[in-house]
Structure 1
Amino acid sequence: MNLALTGAGGFLGWHVRVLVRALGWPDPTVLTRADLADPDVVAAKLDGVGRLLHLAGVNRGDPADVAAGNVELAASLARALRRCAQPPPTVVFANSTQAGNGTPYGDSKAVAAATLATVAERGVHFVDLRLPNLYGEHGRPHYNSVVATFCRLLADGGEPEVRDDRELDLVHAGDAAALLVDAPARGAWDSTLPSLRIGVRALAGRLGDFAATYRDGQIPALRDRHDVRLFNTYRSHCFPAHYPLPLARHADRRGELVEVVKAHGGAGQTFCSTSRPGITRGEHFHLAKVERFAVLRGTAEISLRRVGHTEVTRFAVSGDEPVVVDMPTMWVHHITNTGPDELLTLFWANEIFDPARPDTYPEPVDGPARVPAVVG
């Protein structure tokens, strides 16, 4: 599927680009706000595109700026679509369940949807997708989601303060991305857009429990897919500053014992591997799987890069001082034996490997990122 999208540099845009990478589709055509100012540029970029996603918008700020921004972006895109000799067969608008609710944001989203719906007159299939509250890895605190705000506070050692204990419908951004791109129903996403109904106070308590348990490296009970994704969201705010995590060691005259995994409510899967000098293992990323590396003998370097970005984070680790590094979701990672002797590594994941749904997507850490970080 050839996609084009606005808002590629935003929270939902990044999750869409990561999912496209996992699906093995071509990198999306990115339409920046500067592009939208020139309808002819947009028309040229949309040539041959099968599906256009309009994700760009204004969520926070002065009410007048929010309202004007959402309306103007939609109007610019509609003008560009009318210039296309062959517009994309499908245009999807990432709308909000708040559309038309009487607020500047909600009313501007409703006007934007009505503006984009006019392209249907040219035979375009227009989809007005109304999304609830989205959460997920690398959301911006105080902007994208209360989940991101709570996670950042907890990662920094603070405590969330709840003033308005209302009910929320939460959807992971990866599931929203799957519905936006019409992804096949397989893999570590769910295109049925399953939501979590939870109160703000209960959400703060759940995330607080995760943070308290994980503070010394223990894995909290992950009862369902939303628990896993909320925990992964919290971990994204911990990385890389909180790693590596030191391991508890016990020694006596017989030798040493190292506690590598303490998982509450589930065992997952554990395995060990040996690697000869210079050998690299990994070169992939996960969308949902929680994965832990612990070197027990030898020396190694663990390298990670956020999907779509270029900066690489590296940790030097050794069996002489065992630590763990938990792989953040949607970060490409590998481990390389940097010593002269055989490397012994223990790996743990929160789920048993399923060859039919492996949640493992190949990509080199040190190779060029095919999609750089996008702004606009």
Structure 2
Amino acid sequence: MKVVLTGARGFLGWHTRLRMHALTTHEVIPVGRDEWQGLPALVADADAIIHIAGVNRADSDDEVREGNRSLATDLATAITRSGRPLRVVYANSTQAGNGTPYGSGKEEAASILDRATEAAGGTLVDVHLPNIFGEHGRPRYNSFVATFVHAVITGEEVTINDNQVGLLHVQDAAQALLDGLTGEAAEIHPEPEAHGVQEVWDLLQEFHATYVPTGEIPDLSSKFRIDLFNTYRSALFPEHYPIQLVPHADPRGAFVETVRCRGGEGQTSFSTTVPGITRGEHYHLSKIERFAVIRGKGTMELRKMFTDEVITFEAEGDSPAAVDMPVGWVHNITNTGDEVLFTQFWSHELFRPEAPDTFPEPVRPQE
């Protein structure tokens, strides 16, 4: 189906678009600030809408409340003008109706969309999302987790009120919105996982203590640890990379430790690549994958999905280096030398053919 996605360039919007690209055949029409004035024409040709655009924080309480109402009113007007029965999936919040400016704005936005959708013969699916966190969140805006990640990396002080907080990874939130496109429920309440605020801070400190100085992978024995580590390392990219590996040489030759992991699964593979050939050209939704060049000369290229900038890393076996590929970034490696390229690949999980978490996409799409 053709799906209009509002807020497509924001935190949740980017992750939802990424998941739709990976797991569905829907045609996605991304709508951000630049496309907002053309919303009526885009909605008129759509089969469904996922409405994520909203205002989390602003200079005043009125701006937060009215901002969410205004966005919903614009979309409701477009739905009414279309005169078509559309399925509208609304990224609401568990704070809706709690009396805060944000909660009131989200609740009122839901009512506005419900009236317009019902009048046109369509269906509104109200998805109540808890605190979400994940890769590329904005500090002091999207989540306290993003704020903590930034503070750990920069060495800033934080004030911690050690409450239990229900947390949901942003890809799980995106899946809840996708479920709304096809399910029968009028409301969806994804179940968050409760974690202490101090616990989150302590885990990030644990990651940072070893990953930055040595490249050591922390204990990844739970989904939350994996999600939080992916969130943390996304904020290190690209400045922290490549990771320089330390060769130990003696008269017999050289030894290089490429991966050290403190817990969880893990799978290592090895490839040879002849000159001029490229491997990779894919992205992942959660997989942690390390490329380590151990012989020859190679160029690694990465591009964040739905953007144009390509980031390049050069690597040579004489000075072994590794790059951990961030989630949602297309990546490849090309043999740019004159001899066979030897590359070691490590993933934090065993390869499962039924759920490979590997989605083909070129780093440099052809014009």
The alignment's TM-score, normalised by the length of structure 1, stands at 0.91
Corresponding position: 1:111 with 2:108 = yes
Corresponding position: 1:52 with 2:52 = no
Higher relative contact order (CA 8 A, sep 6+): 1
SS of aligned partner of 1:212: helix
Unmatched segments (≥5 aa) in structure 1: 186-190, 370-376
Task: Report deviation, 1:82.
Answer: 0.8
Alignment of 1:58-97 (within 5 A): 58-61=55-58, 62-88=60-86, 90-97=87-94
Contact 2:129 2:190 in 1 (8 A): no
Task: Report deviation, 1:34.
Answer: 6.1
C-alpha RMSD of the superposition: 1.9
1:285-335 CA-to-partner distances (Å, cap 9, x unmatched) read 001000001111100000000011110000010000001111011100000
For 2:346, which of 345, 348, 352 is the aligned residue?
348
CA distance in 1, matches of 2:180, 2:274: 39
Residue in 2 aligned with 1:16?
A: 16
Corresponding position: 1:166 with 2:159 = no
1:72-126 CA-to-partner distances (Å, cap 9, x unmatched) read 11111112211113242x1111111111111111111111111111021332111
Alignment of 1:217-366 (within 5 A): 217-366=215-364
Contact 1:317 1:323 in 2 (8 A): yes
1:143-171 CA-to-partner distances (Å, cap 9, x unmatched) read 00111111122223x15523322221111
For 2:134, which of 125, 133, 136 is the aligned residue?
136
Task: Report deviation, 1:49.
Answer: 2.1
Amino acid at match of 2:6: T
Residue in 2 aligned with 1:212?
A: 209
Residue in 1 aligned with 2:29?
A: 29
Distance 1:34 1:231, change over 3 A: closer
Amino acid at match of 2:306: G
Task: Report deviation, 1:266.
Answer: 3.0
Amino acid at match of 1:290: I
Distance 1:251 1:36, change over 3 A: closer
Amino acid at match of 1:23: L
Distance 1:75 1:34, change over 3 A: farther
Amino acid at match of 2:292: A
Amino acid at match of 1:281: R
Distance 1:180 1:368, change over 3 A: farther
CA distance in 2, matches of 1:120, 1:35: 25
Distance 1:192 1:85, change over 3 A: closer
Contact 1:36 1:77 in 2 (8 A): no
CA distance in 2, matches of 1:24, 1:109: 28
SS of aligned partner of 1:309: coil
Give the paired residue count: 359
CA distance in 2, matches of 1:315, 1:344: 16
Contact 1:310 1:368 in 2 (8 A): no
Distance 1:23 1:134, change over 3 A: same
Unmatched segments (≥5 aa) in structure 2: 183-187
Residue in 1 aligned with 2:177?
A: 180
SS of aligned partner of 1:117: helix
Corresponding position: 1:201 with 2:198 = yes
Amino acid at match of 1:353: F
SS of aligned partner of 2:12: helix
The alignment's TM-score, normalised by the length of structure 2, stands at 0.93
For 2:123, which of 122, 125, 129 is the aligned residue?
125
Alignment of 1:35-46 (within 5 A): 36-37=36-37, 41-46=38-43
Task: Report deviation, 1:213.
Answer: 2.4
Distance 1:345 1:166, change over 3 A: same
Contact 2:44 2:81 in 1 (8 A): no
Residue in 1 aligned with 2:185?
A: none
CA distance in 1, matches of 2:287, 2:328: 10
Distance 1:72 1:300, change over 3 A: same
CA distance in 1, matches of 2:76, 2:342: 58
CA distance in 1, matches of 2:121, 2:193: 36
Contact 1:221 1:263 in 2 (8 A): yes
CA distance in 2, matches of 1:360, 1:242: 24
